[in-house]
Amino acid sequence: MAYRFKLNESFEEGFRRIALEQLDRAESQLRSPNKDRAVAVHETRKALKRMRALLRLVRPALREHAFEKENADLREIARILSSARDRHVILETINKLESTSGSAAKGAGQTLREILQTANGEDTPNVDAAATKRALEQLALAKNRFSQLKVMGSGFEAIGPGLEASYRRGRRTFRAAYAGGSDDSFHEWRKWVQQHWRHMMLLSNAWPEYFAARITESRGLSQILGDDHDLALLKAYVRAKSTERVGSAQANIVENLARRRQKQLRAAAQPMGARLYAGGARGLQRRMAQYWKSAVALKEQEPEEAPSPNLPKPSSNAVPTSPKRRQSVV
């Protein structure tokens, strides 16, 4: 099923349906014997991020201890799977950096690949098996709890305050990222951009054409900031390995190239962020509420489909009629 609320269901019904669908998806990814492990972990973590975005949208309509419990448990499942995923991301980031930096990163990149491939070959199978088992156990418990969670409030009021709070946090972290410039501040902003585009997906039935633009913009921005964060992971990894097999000169080359690429990415992200956060949070919530209420009203006015008539089955003894010949066109 699609990751969005339906116009003809309550937000509590939609919350429970979507949550269980995403948990099922995460579980199926980890259980699939034919999936590449890196891909399975990546898809599982994406489902968990969708879950946490959904949870934050309805946060004001949940008991606070329930939100804290579920959010922490989902974050822990993602953390259990993170080590293998981080190694895979670093490999991909090295390849991207080499493609944008020419030969400057080749030597250090090859050394880092050898270190990572050795670690993957020696450590990953056992760690992945144990991590997968623990993650599946936690997912089973989460499914049981989410099937019983209560969402308080009715209509758009059940999600409006959560939407407003998340968007406001995104605006603040956008300004803070460019004021401070640290890797952590850009990573924090990225998390709220991801929240926003997933919230737009959840509400997209209100006005698909309008929401598509916000989804495309915020998702593209999230991908840019994701590349920025991957480069931050690479820099941290290089610093940690610079006293081992990676020489200090090679480490400096990689770090400098990563910083240069981050500067380019952040320059591209700034006008996108300015456009996405051009309006205030309260105004956004009011508009979204009106879009949703209008869409529900329009849905209720749609004529019901007439039931198909129960036509009698033709007799087996009936003589078939000859089809009319088409007139030839001169």
- DSSP code of residue 151: -
Task: Tell me the DSSP string of 35-66.
Answer: S-HHHHHHHHHHHHHHHHHHHHHTGGGS-HHH
Each residue's pLDDT tens digit, 254-272: 888 899 999 999 999 999 9
Cα three-residue angle 151-155-158, rounded to 5 degrees: 40
State how far the Cα of 14 lies from the Cα of 20, in Å rounded to an integer.
10
Q: For residue 146, is pLDDT > 70? A: yes
Residue 37 has pLDDT above 50, yes or no: yes
Least confident of 130-144, 216-230, 236-250: 236-250
Residues making up the chain, counted from first to last:
330
DSSP string of 248-278, one letter each residue: HHHHHHHHHHHHHHHHHHHHHHHHHHHHHT-
For residue 328, the model assigns a pLDDT of 36
Is a pLDDT exceeding 90 seen at residue 36?
A: no
Q: Above 80 in pLDDT, residue 31? A: yes
For residues 216 and 207, is the Cβ–Cβ distance under 8 A?
no
Place 309 in a pLDDT band, splitting at 50, 70 and 90. low
Kindly report the pTM of this predicted structure. 0.84
In this predicted model, what pLDDT tens digit does every residue of 95-109 receive, in sequence order?
Answer: 888 777 666 566 566
Instruction: Identify the burial level of 4 via C-beta atoms within 10 angstroms of its C-beta, where 0-12 means exposed, 13-18 middle and 19 or more buried.
Output: middle
More confident residue, 316 or 329: 316
Q: Please report, for the chain, the start and end positions of each structural domain, with discontinuous segments joined by +.
A: 11-298
> Which class in CATH covers the domain with range 11-298?
mainly alpha
| Per-residue pLDDT tens over the stretch 179-196 | 999 999 999 999 999 999
